[in-house]
Every structure is written in structure tokens, then in C-alpha cells.
Amino acid sequence: MSRAVFRMRVKAGQEALYQERHKAVWPDVEEACRRAGMARYTIFMAGRELIAYFEADDPPATLDRLQKDVVMHRWWAFMEPVMDEDPQDARAYDEVFHLD
């Protein structure tokens, strides 16, 4: 498994709504993530900044499959009022160090 991290941002004043919606993530969204190849998906929040971490055999292919999934498009439309950018604009990071 490879690790992947990307950054997103919540609109000002929408932090509580973002958290509320993620306490009740739709089961078909969780299944879409698994179907795309995601494992150990975690989102961290500091103020409006979000850092998402996941593991997959091929993270770019996993993200590509998610981009094509109708379930994810419904979720992103649901989340659009609270997000500061389009999911396709989320910034990915390259791993430079890891400690097991």
C-alpha cells in the first residue's frame, strides 16, 4: 500500500456544518471509497484547513476512479456549499519521509 495526502479548505463559517455532515457520511460514499481502492481514509481539520490521508495500492488510479463515480459526484454536490474549492482542485502532497 502507498500513502497519499491532499489538502482542502472549508468556507469561512461552515466549519461546524462540515463536521456535522462527516459524522453521518453516507454508507454509499464509504462503499465508493472502498470500491475505488481506498483504505484507512482519515480527514484532519485545523480551523478551515483539511488534510486528508488514505492508503491505496495506486493512489492516483484510486482518485481517478473516485472522479468517475456517480455517488461521489452526489456527495460533492451535497458538500459544495461548505467547501472552498472543487474536489478536483484539491492539492496533493508528495511523501518525503515516513517512520513505521
pLDDT at 68: 95
pLDDT at 91: 65
pLDDT at 23: 96
**DSSP result, 53-87:** EEEESSHHHHHHHHHT-HHHHHHHHHHTTTBSS-G
pLDDT in tens, 26-69: 999 999 999 999 999 999 999 999 999 999 999 989 999 999 99
Residues 83, 60, 54, 35, Cα dihedral to 10°: 90
pLDDT in tens, 74-92: 999 999 999 987 656 666 7
Burial of 16 (0-12, 13-18, 19+ CB in 10 A): exposed
Say which CATH class 2-90 falls into: alpha beta
* Global pTM value: 0.86
